[in-house]
Amino acid sequence: MRAVVYPGSFDPLTNGHLDVIERAARLFDRVIVAVAPNSEKHPLFTTEERCKLVVGATRRLRNVEVRAFDGLLVDYVRGCGAQAVIRGLRAVSDFEFEFQMALMNRKLDERVETIFMMPKDTYTFLSSRLVKEIAQLGGDVSTFVPRNVGRALLKRMQPSTPMRRR
Ligand code: ADP
């Protein structure tokens, strides 16, 4: 049984993330999408909301599981019975940070491999940060995110109903 962990903030899941998940699901028996709280990044969605959005978008992929995760990644990977970590590489700009993290994780536990996957070329410009910025400014993000995520973003961005004066 070959299992892999795909960790990230997924705040929110984009079509780029989903493309990586689909590719990993074709290669591994089990893909565990591990949603990190990343509270220092002030996420737009709570960990639970982010998990639900990934669950909703990956329902048709039978070998994909979604879990919230906290703590040291290598410990989590071994605890899941997985052998590897998947990270997405969009451009050279991702490389330096990802390379450093992969080598550090290898120092911490050399049995855990890091595998880099490239998304479909049309998704290489996509990031959760940009998607949030566009949605916040009222732009259309429907081609960048799964449908359930688009709906959640619209809902989150709606201005709250103004209080009525008596
Ligand atoms: P993190 O906060 O750990 O960077 P993200 O949720 O932003 O988490 O991303 C998780 C992983 O998915 C990272 O490896 C990131 O490089 C990758 N990723 C993000 N967006 C894309 C995309 N459009 N295509 C491919 N990989 C992506």
CATH number at residue 102: 3.40.50.620
Task: Compute, in angstroms, the gap from residue 6 CA to the centroid of ligand 1.
Answer: 9
Rounded to an integer, what distance in angstroms lies between the CA atom of residue 129 and that of residue 133? 6
User: In this structure, are residues 113 and 4 in contact, taking their beta carbons and an 8 Å threshold?
Assistant: no
Task: Compute, in angstroms, the gap from residue 157 CA to the centroid of ligand 1.
Answer: 22
Task: Compute, in angstroms, the gap from residue 137 CA to the centroid of ligand 1.
Answer: 22
Q: Is residue 76 in contact with ligand 1, taking CB distance under 6 Å?
A: no
Backbone phi, psi, residue 154, to 5°: -60, -45
Per-residue pLDDT tens over the stretch 128-156: 999 999 999 999 999 999 999 999 999 99
Read off the pLDDT of each residue in 104-113 and give the average, rounded to a whole number: 96
Mutate-to-test residue for ligand 1 from 6, 17, 76, highest number of ligand atoms within 8 A of CB: 17
Assess whether 90 carries a catalytic annotation. yes
The answer to the question of residue 17 being in a domain is yes
Helices (H), the chain: 15-27, 47-58, 73-79, 92-108, 128-136, 147-157
The answer to the question of residue 57 being in a domain is yes
Number of domains in the chain: 1
Q: Is residue 12 in contact with ligand 1, taking CB distance under 6 Å?
A: no
Per-residue pLDDT tens over the stretch 34-90: 999 987 888 999 999 999 999 999 999 999 999 999 999 999 999 999 999 999 999
Question: Looking at the predicted structure, is the pLDDT value of residue 166 above 60?
Answer: no
Among 39, 36, 33, smallest CA distance to 6 is for: 33
Task: Identify residue 125 by its one-letter amino acid code.
Answer: F
Q: Is residue 50 in contact with ligand 1, taking CB distance under 6 Å?
A: no
Question: Looking at the predicted structure, is the pLDDT value of residue 30 above 90?
Answer: yes
Task: Compute, in angstroms, the gap from residue 111 CA to the centroid of ligand 1.
Answer: 23
Backbone phi, psi, residue 110, to 5°: -75, -5
pLDDT for the residue 7: 97
pLDDT for the residue 165: 53
Question: How do 3-8 and 64-68 pair as beta strands?
Answer: unpaired
Among 40, 30, 41, 26, smallest CA distance to 6 is for: 30
Confidence band for 164, pLDDT divided at 50, 70 and 90? low
pLDDT for the residue 92: 82
Domain extent, residue 71, equals 3-157
The answer to the question of residue 164 being in a domain is no
The answer to the question of residue 165 being in a domain is no
Predicted TM-score of the model (pTM): 0.92
* CA torsion angle 30 106 17 72 (round to 10): 80
